[in-house]
Amino acid sequence: MPVLDLADIVASTSGMLRLAHEDPAAEFIVATEEGLLHRLRKENRGKQFYHVAGVALCPNMKKITLEKVLWSLQDLQYPVDIPTDVADRARLCIERMVAASK
- The predicted pLDDT at position 1 comes to 60
Question: What does the alpha-carbon distance between residue 40 and residue 97 come to, in Å, rounded to a whole number?
Answer: 19
Taking alpha carbons only, the member of 29, 37, 34 closest to residue 8 is: 29
Question: What does the alpha-carbon distance between residue 82 and residue 18 come to, in Å, rounded to a whole number?
Answer: 33
In one-letter notation, the amino acid at residue 66 is L
Q: Is the pTM of this model over 0.75?
A: no
Query: Are 14 and 29 part of one and the same domain?
Result: yes
Judge residue 30's burial from the number of C-beta atoms within 10 Å of its C-beta, 0-12 exposed, 13-18 middle, 19 or more buried.
buried
Query: Are 20 and 55 part of one and the same domain?
Result: yes
- The radius of gyration computed from the CA coordinates of the chain, to the nearest angstrom, equals 16
Looking at the structure of the chain, the number of domains it has is 2
What's 40's domain CATH number? 3.40.50.10800
Q: Which domain holds residue 69?
A: 64-102
pLDDT over 70 (residue 81): yes
Query: Are 30 and 80 part of one and the same domain?
Result: no
Q: What is the pLDDT of residues 20-75, one digit of tens each?
A: 999 999 999 998 888 888 899 999 999 999 988 766 667 777 788 889 888 888 88
Work out the number of other CB atoms within 10 angstroms of the CB of residue 43.
Answer: 11
Query: Are 10 and 41 part of one and the same domain?
Result: yes
Query: Are 56 and 16 part of one and the same domain?
Result: yes
Query: Are 33 and 45 part of one and the same domain?
Result: yes
